[in-house]
Amino acid sequence: MRQIVLDTETTGLEWQKGNRVVEIGCIELVQRRRSGREFHCYLNPEREFEDGAREVTGLDSEFLADKPRFAEIAQEFLAFIDGAELIIHNAAFDLGFLNAELERLPGLGRIEDRCRIEDTLLLARQRFPGQRNSLDALCRRLGVDNAHRVKHGALLDAELLAEVYLALTAGQGEIGFGEMPAARAADTTIPAAAFAGDPAQRPRVRVQAEELAAHQARLAALEKKAGRCLWRELEAASD
């Protein structure tokens, strides 16, 4: 499964008033793990910032003056996200701006024509109804370190959102299933016939101390992110 965690920064809050995108940040996840591929660019919006937007992003027209226009990077950006599931916090905001940019270019369509959309704000509201569910609030609640987030930045926010999303949807990917290479898995497979016959003769797997420590560390990380760990609760109930 290929997913793209996406964030944008803009000259103001409403694309309907002619505000433009000034930064795009994307992080690729493959099977719920970072692949190392990113897409990041600053853009010349060809207009001034609205009051307050400059302070939020830390960007200004002088810095962006020599940056490419959206039209110059549109094809590269679309190729990066094409066919993926987009993970966006408050998706209506980012999609509104990106689609407004695409509408200025003939024949490119809309983001929703190319990608499935997962809105982490909606996920958070389902899990934490009645609570604040901004990215900063979710970072604090789910144990994601955002101490270095002084200004809003598209790539930094996409990195934080990737961690928040994985914590919100913690499951097999978080526990680590599927991490073992296929060749190694084949080497360690025990035939079903080995479990027949005398129980005393059946193969036994002894857990090493470092393996047990790694297991407990993973459970602790899950518990910190999700607020609970079912595995630990079952272990405690069986004691």
Q: For residue 168, is pLDDT > 90? A: yes
Q: Which residues make Cβ contacts (< 8 Å) with residue 33, sequence separation at least 6?
A: 173
The CATH number of 2-173 is 3.30.420.10
pLDDT tens digits, 143-165: 998 776 555 689 999 999 999 99
Active site residue 89: no
pLDDT at 201: 57
pLDDT value of residue 169: 94
Per-residue burial over 207-231, b if 16 or more Cβ lie within 10 Å, else e, is eeeeeeeeeeeebeebbebbeebee
User: Does residue 82 register a pLDDT over 70?
Assistant: yes
Instruction: Identify whether the C-beta of residue 21 lies closer than 8 Å to the C-beta of residue 5.
Output: no
- Whole-angstrom distance, CA of residue 54 vs CA of residue 23: 12
Q: Domain residues of the chain, as ranges?
A: 2-173
222, pLDDT greater than 90: no
